[in-house]
Every structure is written in C-alpha cells, then in structure tokens.
Amino acid sequence: MQKHSLLADLVDIRDQIARDQETSREQLQHRDRKIGLENDRPLSAGGTRLRRWINVIREQEGLSNSQVSSGIKAQQTINIVITLLWLLGAICGWILTQAVLFYDGNQPVNIISALLVLVCSQLFTLLLLLVFSLLGLPGVLRSLSVFNPAALLLGLLKRINSDRLEAISKLISSTAITGTAALRQRLIVYLAQHFTVALNLGIIAALLYLVAVSDLAFGWNTTLEVDTHSVARWFEGISWPWQSLVPAAVPDIQLVETSRYYRLQGQLRNGDWQAEQLGSWWIYILMCVLVYGLLPRLLALIISGVQYDRAVSGAMTSASGANQILARMSSPLVSTIAEGEDDSAIIKNVRPPLTRRQSGRDLPCLVIEWSEARSSTDKLTAVGIEPLQYFSAGGHQTLAEDRNMVVHIASHNPQGIAVVVKSWEPPLLEFLDFLRSLRGRLDKTCPLIVLLTAISGEQVEAYQLESWEASLADLSDPALYVEPL
Amino acid sequence: MEAQIPVFAIVGHPNKGKSSIVSTLAQDSSVSVSPLSGTTVHCRTYPMRVDGKELYRLIDTPGFQRARAAMDWMQRHSASASDHVEVVGKFVEKHRNHQHFSSECELLTPILAGAGILYVIDGSIPYGPEYDAEMEILRWTGQPSMALINQIGKAEYFEQWQQPLSQYFKIVRVFNAQTASFDRQIQLLTGFSELSDDWHQPLRQAADQLRAQRRHRLNLSARCITEGLVNIMQASERSNLSNKDDQVEIDKSIEEFQRKLIKMESRMRSEVESYFNYHRLEREEAALGIASEDLFSERTWKLFGLSRDQLVTTGMIGGAAGGSLLDIGSGGLTMFLGSGLGAIIGGASAWFGAKQLIGTRILGLPMGGHQVVVGPITNLNFPWVLLGRAITHLKLVSQRTHAMRDQLEITHSTGSDIVSNIPSAQRRAIQRIFTSATKGHAVKEAELSRMVETIVSLVATDPDSMKQDKSSEASLDTI
C-alpha cells in the first residue's frame, strides 16, 4: 500500500467525507465495516485508523480512477511552497549579508550592527513566536502573520493559481469543530521555519563567499564612554557556547581594543590598520549565526514540524464525519430488515363498485348470522329488512352444515337474504366461497344483503365498510349489497 | 455442522397486526401495513444478521383465508392424532400449486420446515369461533408456539381471549407493536427462547447486539446534533449590495439566511432519522409538525429554549467567565470586578438580546460597493431552542416503532422543559461550546464528546419512555 503524507491523507479524508454525502448510509456502513474487518486495528489511534481507511478507499477508487487525488495535489503544492521558501530564504540571506557586510575599504564593517541585523532580529522574532505560542494568543499570531513570508507566499500563490491551492485554502479557512484553526497556524509557522533556516544558510554562504573572495575588516564604535574591557566581556559572553569548541572564534581583549573605530579621525583607536587582525571577526560572526541563528531555527523547524503533524492528525480525527467513519469501521453491521422487495398487494378496487340498495318498503329476508355475528329484529327493521327466519353459518359450523343450510334456504325461494357479519373482521375468501355457493342456488335477481355489525357500543368504521365493499366487488354480483347494520 | 438458527413464522388471522409486529421487531418501515385485509400475499423473510452472520429469522406470512376448509380436508385425511404433522405436510404438498389454499400453503411451509409459531391476535376485538380452526391447524403442525396479543384498537378483550388461547398455546404474551419500547421489544425477543432451549444462546447474542446497536445509534445521532448545532451557530450569509441602505436587499439576505438555517436543521433531522432506519419519514418531512412549528416562531422559542431566568443566569455565567480573564490577567488586582461586570453585561445582553435575533453588518468592499453580512446568530437562546428541538426529535424518533405510520409531531407535551432540565454544570459546558462556535473558535473534541454524552443521557433516561414502559409492563406478563 502506497504511503502518503499526513496532509495528503487529511485532504483526501475530508474530500471522501464530502463525497460520501451522496452515498446511502447502508452502502457506507457496508463499505466501512468491510474495511474495518479486513484492515482495522481498533486499538490504534483514531488518526492511524483513518489513514488506513483512506488508503483502502484510494486503492478501491484507483482501480477506476487514475487521477491524482486532491490530497496528493495539496501535498505537492506544499512541497512547491517549501522549495520556493528555501530559495527565497537563501536569496534573502545572501542579499542581506551582502548589504550588511558591505565594505569598500574606507571604513570597517560595524560588527554590532551586523550582529543586530543578522542574529538579534531573528532571535527577537523567535522569542515573539515562543511567547505568543506559550501564552496561547493565536489571534495575535494571526495578526502578525501578515508579516510572515510563508503567509505572504501562500497569499501570492492563491492569486496566481487558485486551483492548486484550493484544497489547502479550503482546509485552513474552515474553523471551529474541524480543528483546522490550529492547523492553519501550525502550517504557517512550520513553513516560516523553512524560510528562516534557508535564510541562515544564505547568510552563512554569503559570509563565507565574502571571506573567500574579498578582504573584510570589522570594527565597532560608540559615542558612549564605554570601557573596552566591558565590551570585550560582552563579546566573550556571547561566545560562551563555543568557547571550548572553537577558541579561535572568541575575540580577546586585544582584538576588541584594536577594533574600536572613530569616524571623525577616520582611523582605529590605536591608529594602526591591521587588516588581517580586523578580518578575523568573521569567524565570530559565523559562529553567532550558526549558534543563535541556524541552530534555534533548525530546532524550531523540527518542533513546528512535529506540532504541524499533530495538528494535521488532530484535524483528521476532529473532521466532521471522522467519528462516524471510525464508528462504522468498529461497530458490527447489524441488519434486521427484509430481504428483497415488498410484493404486498394493496387491494385496489378494479371491479365496478357495488350498487346501493333501493330504499322503500321492508324486504322480507331470511337472515344468516355468519360466525356468530349477532343481530336483532329492531336493528334489521331499522335498515328496511323484515327478518323471517334466522340461520347460522361459518364459525363452529362445519362446511357440510353450511352446504345443507344453503340447500335448505334455496328451497324456500326467498325474496331476499341478509347475511350478518362482523365488521371488525376482514372479509375472508372462505366467506366469498359461501356467498358464491349461495348465489349458485338462488335466483340471480334475489337480493343478497351483507350487513356489517359493530362491536357492542361502537359504530361500523368507514374503512371497514370500504374493505368489505372492495372484497365483495370481486364477486361481480349486481344483486349483492353491503350495508352497516 | 452449523447449528440451526431460530426461525419464527408470524401467523394469524388477516389484519391482526402480523406485519406491524414484524415491522417493529425488524425495525423496518418498508413493511406494508394496511387496515385493508390481505395486504401480505407472500411470505417475507427478515433475517437478523451481525456482520453477515445470521442469528435469527422472522417470517411474515399471509393470514389464513380458508382455515375451516383446510381443517376439514386434514380431518378427512387423518386416521389418528399420531399422523397430524404428516397430514399437514400432505395438505401443503397437494395444494401447493393451487390458488385455492395459497395462503394456507404459504404460511404452513416455513412452519413445516421447523419455524417456531408466533400466533398473533388483536386483543382489542372480541374472540370469535373463526379462530379455532386456525389454532387447531397450528397445533397439528407440532411446532413450538407462542400467542401474541397485539392491541390495534383501544378496547381490551384480553380476558375473553385467555381461555381459548390457553387451550392451544402454552405461552401467551401481550405485545403492542405500536407503542412497545425498545426494552419491551428486546424482552419479547429473548422471550422467544422459551420455545426451544437451542434458541437461547443465539437470541441472547442477538439481544446484546441490538442493545449495542441502539447505543451506537444514539451516539451517532447525538454527535450529528452536536456538530450540526456548531455548524449552524457558525453559519453566516454574505451578499453584495448596490446601495448600503437598500433595505429590500438586506431583508432578502436575512430570508436567505433563515432558509439556510432551516435547511441545515432539516438535514440534521433526516440524518438522525436515517440512523434509526426511518427513510419514509424523510419524504414526509415537509409535512412534519416540525415545519409548522417554525424555527423562528415565538411559540417555538417559548417551547424549546431556556426560560428568561435561566438565560440570564447562563448569560451571567458566560459574562463572568469572560470577566474573570481580566481578573486573572491583572493578577487579582481588579478585585474580581471583571467577573462581576462580565456577569452584569452577559445577563443584560441575554435579556435584551432575545428581541434582536439576526444581526446584520454592512461592510465596505475594497473595490467599491457594500456587502451585507447576515449572522452568525449571537443570541444566547437561539442554540438552546435548536438543541431543545433536536433532542425532542431524537427522543421521538428513538422511541418510535416502525409499525407507526403517522406523522412525527413535536408538540408542547413532547418538547417542553428538555433543555431546562439539563443540570447546570452540563448547561454551562454546552454554553461554552455555543459561545466558541459563534465566535468562530475551535471547539475541543473533549467538549464535543461531553455534549454528546449529555444528549445521550437525556434521551436514554427520558422519564416519558420510563412511564410508557411501566404502563405496558403491567400487561405484558404471561397470561
């Protein structure tokens, strides 16, 4: 499995989460659980598990899509930015040194000014970074980033090629729960360290070049009445870190004394120009740049690199949707839903609806109570039916008893038959069979009235009547009626 | 050899809630449930799988249509009680390819293959003799069986059913598919193991997995709400103005911003619903009661937000926290004046801020012209209103059974007092998240996790569901 940088993984994870919005939750669950079962080690850190996840997704996607991912593009862009910062830093360091150590042979280079520009300014910015980072004042740092070469370069590149920087820009512009507010800061600080390391290397290269191809003379001057011994102690104090390692880079009292310079007289304090001796300051400047410039910046580069990696990892696990991915990978896929499509048939009334019975004089009827559905003469009379005789069918009656009863009824040549049924029970096919057998024995015009009784104290519901009408319409019997009792 | 998994055939008279019970137990809203009879014409299988491994299977079957005729056939072909199972098998074999007994053959097939019988009746209607033939046929199959009294209507005829059911079934349970809480569902599922000792272990395992799944779903939903709220609190809308005093354009931007927030909230709802397998609810969302209780209506604010007193208290706490920074910065030289002043300012802005919900800023553009920035909403009560609605919705969705097909409604009784009942320590922690989000600051993962836990605990220990459980518990005992 190909390894990608943390940033590439972060960008691709966020991209994939955005793409997953279009995919159903079931599909995501299946995909991620499969990845989880095959590749995941649940005890690993969240970031590690997410990286493993995105690598598998990349592999799966890669089979059908050979395009470079946004994450890889983002990392390439960052690499370009780092390269440009190295170039820029080295050039700046070179030019700065050339300017600071400009020497035309008239007056020596002021060693204090050189140290202030080449070393102290760097120490100052480093100190600011340290203080604001420790105090946790990201707002101040953000405001100061307008002077940050890395931030400036990113801003410039965004104007030139916004597409390339889109992923990074999206990444660092979002805030809050995505955890990328910290990432933006870390990225800028980390990139800036590349610039400053290159700047120091540029300074050192330019210094060595000047020393190699030209003669340099250094001096120092002041209006104040300063004791040379104090100044010498000050220089010596600065060179404390390398005193034992490079004794030649520690200026002695004689060199300090000799290097004091007065512009009015246009000469050195002791009056003698000893160019070779005055040039020996270069090794002191070199050590100052190495120890107070390059070394802290290298350390800052390493620390900011670690912090940047941590911020990327943090942004990875706090990305909106990352928790869900981890949960999908580690949670068993529990499925309880049905297999296949539902082929349930919702009854549609495709037959012509039953006709309504004409109201008029009472119709003398034989009454059949189906499955112990009870009726009363009063109720039957109320719906225009004059009960002549009561019979039972369905329920505990056997099929043979039902058949005999039908034959018996048919022999009476009835004017009408009322079948009382329970409205709360659905019309079964068994009942339809019974009605068919009844009609088979009767005249086709003999009214067959199905009367729905309700549970005691209740009324027949509209849906119950509808259900019975829909089912009985299947019989296509023009003399069949359904009514509530 | 692999042990046989438990299989349960849900059988019974048509329209007695077989599909509702399956729908609830399988957490599947795709099951057709209709008051019209004969909705289910073929068996449908609901396997319970964990990472592809099947633990049990439910089979929804069509209802008996010609039970008396089938019984009549069987009685005619049986010589003695010892051949009952064989006769049922012969019946299915003979009529398998005929339309006449299609329902009976369809429902008897899985039982003859070894499925346990769950015979469903509706306890809200009286017992009738038409059920006897069905129960007798099931007894003839010789398979382990249990009767489930479902309650579709309001009336209770449990007593009337007790005698006939106990003649045919050793175990009889009451289970309301519409209102059964999750714990009830699990209790019923594990109760199936009473049918066979071999089923004890897989059903227990299944119950454990379903419990874990529910915890997982609640966590995911709470996380979705937490992240969704932070996103809403950060949201703003920018649009260019031709004239900085163009009130029509500004009002349009405010409306656009409101729509954006409502859409974000609606997306959050859909996601929560999908965690609980509700996909049809999503389509019905436009008609949900939530929409009628508009996010920006005064009534909604009264129902779901914090009370004035609580708002002022929370505002004072927020303000005091800000002021205390001043105290710490000065090393205590301000004599804690910062905290006091912050509390007063925070409380006052909470009091007066409720009236001014959506703030706008007009910015000048470098190349000329103006831009209106609407939001983020800084009003202190706004996120609490959102949280109250979101928790209410989660509560309703998590307590809903899949047999319920009515609309999801957030009413006064379901929505009140939710956020007000959050303990003050948790409320303060949540307020810190809201404040950070509004200011566009990063919110720590640990803080988000704590909020997720708070939401889960509010939903999991909901007194309403406990009440519901207690009332159904009384009637769940074996008859």
Judged by CB atoms within 8 Å, which residues 256-285 of B form the interface with A?
274-275, 277
pLDDT band at A206 (very low <50, low <70, confident <90, very high): very high
Query: pLDDT by residue (tens digit) across B121-163?
Result: 999 999 999 999 999 999 999 999 999 998 888 778 888 898 8
Query: pLDDT by residue (tens digit) across A224-238?
Result: 888 888 889 999 999
Query: pLDDT by residue (tens digit) across A285-298?
Result: 999 999 999 999 99
Q: pLDDT at position B472, please?
A: 45
Residue B412 or residue B50, greater confidence:
B50
Count the domains in chain B.
2
Q: Look at residue B191 and tell me if it is in a domain.
A: no
Task: Please answer yes or no on whether B227 and A333 come within 8 Å at the CB atom.
Answer: no
Lowest mean pLDDT among A391-400, B190-199, B361-370: B361-370
A458 interaction partners in chain B (CB closer than 8 Å): 155
Residue B156 or residue B171, greater confidence:
B171
Query: What are A254's two structure tokens?
Result: 């004689």
Q: pLDDT at position A403, please?
A: 93
The CATH code of the domain that includes B109 is 3.40.50.300
Domain boundaries, chain A: 70-327, 363-484
B101 interaction partners in chain A (CB closer than 8 Å): none
Q: Which of A464, A380, A460, A423 is nearest to B128 (CA)?
A: A423
Task: Please answer yes or no on whether A342 and B30 come within 8 Å at the CB atom.
Answer: yes
Percent of chain B with pLDDT over 70: 73
What are the residues whose beta carbons fall under 8 Å from the beta carbon of B213, sequence distance 6 or more? A331, A332, A334
Lowest mean pLDDT among B11-25, B81-95, B280-294: B280-294
pLDDT band at A116 (very low <50, low <70, confident <90, very high): very high
- The mean predicted confidence, pLDDT, of chain A is 83
Query: pLDDT by residue (tens digit) across A127-173?
Result: 888 887 777 665 666 666 666 776 777 666 666 665 666 666 666 55
Q: pLDDT at position A362, please?
A: 79
Judged by CB atoms within 8 Å, which residues 182-221 of A form the interface with B?
182
What average pLDDT does this structure show over A180-206?
87
Query: pLDDT by residue (tens digit) across B6-38?
Result: 999 999 999 888 888 999 999 887 777 666 666
Task: Please answer yes or no on whether A176 and B445 come within 8 Å at the CB atom.
Answer: no
* Residue B93 structural domain: 7-178
Residue B159: which H helix or E strand, with range? helix B158-168
Same domain, B162 and B222: no
* B208: pLDDT strictly greater than 70: yes
Q: pLDDT at position B336, please?
A: 37
Is B102 in CB contact (< 8 Å) with chain A? no
CA distance A251 to A268: 17
* B65: pLDDT strictly greater than 90: yes
Q: pLDDT at position A217, please?
A: 87
* B303: pLDDT strictly greater than 60: no
Out of A180, A318, A327, whose CB is closest to B220? A327
CB-CB contact of B253 with B372 (8 Å):
yes
Is B205 in CB contact (< 8 Å) with chain A? no
Same domain, B65 and B130: yes
Same domain, B162 and B311: no
Q: Look at residue B150 and tell me if it is in a domain.
A: yes
Provide the residue type at A337 as one letter: I
pLDDT band at B361 (very low <50, low <70, confident <90, very high): low
Same domain, B389 and B439: yes
Q: pLDDT at position A58, please?
A: 86
Q: pLDDT at position A265, please?
A: 64
CB-CB contact of A312 with A8 (8 Å):
no
Give the minimum alpha-carbon distance from B69 to chain A in angstroms, rounded to a whole number: 7
Which residue on chain B is closest to A174 by alpha carbon? B440
Q: pLDDT at position B298, please?
A: 54
* CA distance readout (Å), B185 to A57, B15, B21, B281, B381: 37, 21, 10, 21, 38
Same domain, B219 and B159: no
The highest-level CATH class for domain A363-484 is alpha beta
Q: Look at residue B192 and tell me if it is in a domain.
A: no
Angle subtended at Cα B147 by Cα B144 and Cα B150, rounded to the nearest 5 degrees:
150
Q: Look at residue B428 and tell me if it is in a domain.
A: yes
pLDDT band at B333 (very low <50, low <70, confident <90, very high): very low
Query: pLDDT by residue (tens digit) across B405-423?
Result: 777 776 555 555 778 888 8
Task: Please answer yes or no on whether B45 and A371 come within 8 Å at the CB atom.
Answer: no
Is A430 in CB contact (< 8 Å) with chain B? yes
pLDDT band at A63 (very low <50, low <70, confident <90, very high): low
Same domain, B130 and B220: no
pLDDT band at A346 (very low <50, low <70, confident <90, very high): low
Out of A177, A182, A395, whose CB is closest to B448? A177
Which residue on chain B is closest to A344 by alpha carbon? B40
Is A337 in CB contact (< 8 Å) with chain B? yes
Q: pLDDT at position A187, please?
A: 84
Kindly provide the ipTM of the predicted complex, given to two decimals.
0.76
Q: Look at residue B427 and tell me if it is in a domain.
A: yes
CB pairs under 8 A between A and B: 183
Out of B28, B66, B448, whose CB is closest to A429? B66
Q: Look at residue B286 and tell me if it is in a domain.
A: yes
Give the pairing of strands B7-12 and B116-122: parallel
Complete DSSP assignment for B305-368: S--HHHHHHHHHHHHHHHHHHHHHHTTTTTTTHHHHHHHHHHHHHHHHHTT--S-EEEEE-TTS
Q: pLDDT at position B119, please?
A: 95
pLDDT band at B351 (very low <50, low <70, confident <90, very high): very low
CA distance A82 to A273: 45
Out of B31, B50, B442, whose CB is closest to A181? B442
